Amino acid sequence: MTNSDQPPIHLAVIGGSGLYNFAGLENATRHSVDTPYGPASGDVVIGDFAGRRIAFLARHGESHTLPPHRVNYRANLWALHSLGARRVIGVNAVGGIRGDMGPRVIVVPDQIIDYTHGRSTSFCDVEGAEVKHIDFSEPYTESLRLQLLAAARAANVEVIGGGCYGATQGPRLETRAEIARMKRDGCDLVGMTGMPEAALARELELEYACLALVANFAAGCGDEAEISIEEIFAHLAAATAEVPRILEKMLQ
Ligand code: HPA
């Protein structure tokens, strides 16, 4: 069956740390997509959820084998686009910098500062490709952000609308001084995978929004001298459990 025989994909979800498959996806089929940019993080799984066709891709691979700086963001977005997705939600684990963005809080940010380096940040970065200067004043698609926020509220999830996502290189966590600088810069959250994903989505003219799951207070922002990786994953698991409920509301 070709893609054109299938109903359109209503929404694509890129799962981050802690979200490696999409529970509740019915009639699921797996799609391994050849992209001009090399392999995606894994198969795209397409199936039905809450009566809609959903595509799911695990950003770090289904067994979490790809660190943030080695994710092939271009291939991932290309794969989703080529399968017909036009609206994408990136689910991202983050650290909270702002006081009200503590563990297990969910945030739908509205701005980004990019501190990453050495990643392939554009589809133009290929010999002979047309150079495209995208407007990125508003890095996320506002209508999709608002739908996500409304859905989270309808699902009775503690959610904060707005905030600046600072994207760091990883895979290590940041120093206190780095987070203090990010705070001065205006960052509210810190994560390792928000960029270049958002910019690449814009280049492909995909609608894109981020659902940021706070796993910990960023370095120097909480009471603890050190950040426990076990705690990060425990908080992340709790926040991740809310994701299907939020998406279900969004699809209604
Ligand atoms: N820093 C960067 N990325 C993260 C963090 C953090 O503290 N927590 C979860 N993802």
The reply to whether ipTM tops 0.90 is yes
* Among candidate residues 22, 28, 16, 57, the one with its CA nearest the CA of residue 40: 57
Q: Is the peptide bond before 109 cis (omega within 30 degrees of 0)?
A: no
Q: What angle do CA 63, 64, 70 make, to 5 degrees?
A: 135
| Averaged pLDDT, 123-148 | 93
Q: Whose CA is nearest to atom 9 of ligand 1?
A: 94
Kindly tell me if the per-residue pLDDT of 106 is higher than 70: yes
Q: In this structure, what are the phi and psi dihedrals at residue 249, rounded to the nearest 5 degrees?
A: -65, -35
Say yes or no: CB of residue 168 within 6 Å of ligand 1.
yes
Kindly tell me if the per-residue pLDDT of 96 is higher than 50: yes
| Averaged pLDDT, 86-93 | 98
| Averaged pLDDT, 57-86 | 96
Q: Report the binding-site residues.
A: 17, 59-60, 192-193, 216-218
Whether pTM exceeds 0.90: yes
* CA 93 to centroid of ligand 1, rounded, Å: 7
Could you tell me where the DSSP H helices lie in the chain? Answer: 73-82, 142-154, 176-185, 197-203, 229-240, 243-251
Q: How confident is the model at residue 1, as a pLDDT?
A: 42
8-34: b (≥16 Cβ within 10 Å) or e: ebbbbbbbbbbbbebeebeeeeebebe
Per-residue pLDDT of 31-53, as tens digits, reads 999 999 999 999 999 999 999 99
Kindly tell me if the per-residue pLDDT of 59 is higher than 90: yes
Kindly tell me if the per-residue pLDDT of 128 is higher than 90: no
Cβ–Cβ < 8 Å for 211, 243: yes
Q: Which ligand 1 atom minimizes the distance to the CA of 227?
A: 7
- Tell me the C-alpha distance between 61 and 58, whole Å: 5
The pLDDT-based confidence of 2 (bands split at 50, 70, 90) is very low
Per-residue pLDDT of 164-197, as tens digits, reads 999 999 999 999 999 999 999 999 999 999 999 9
What is the separation of C-alpha 151 from the centre of its chain, rounded to a whole number of angstroms? Answer: 17
Q: How confident is the model at residue 3, as a pLDDT?
A: 52
Question: In the structure encoding, which two tokens stand for residue 166, read together?
Answer: 């600072």
Cβ–Cβ < 8 Å for 45, 69: no
| Averaged pLDDT, 105-126 | 96
More confident residue, 25 or 4: 25
Per-residue pLDDT of 221-230, as tens digits, reads 998 888 999 9
164-180: b (≥16 Cβ within 10 Å) or e: bbbbbbbeebbeeebbb
* Among candidate residues 192, 167, 162, 185, the one with its CA nearest the CA of residue 59: 192
| Averaged pLDDT, 135-140 | 98
Residue written as token pair 């289904």: 62
Q: Whose CA is nearest to atom 8 of ligand 1?
A: 95
Say yes or no: CB of residue 94 within 6 Å of ligand 1.
yes
Q: How confident is the model at residue 7, as a pLDDT?
A: 80
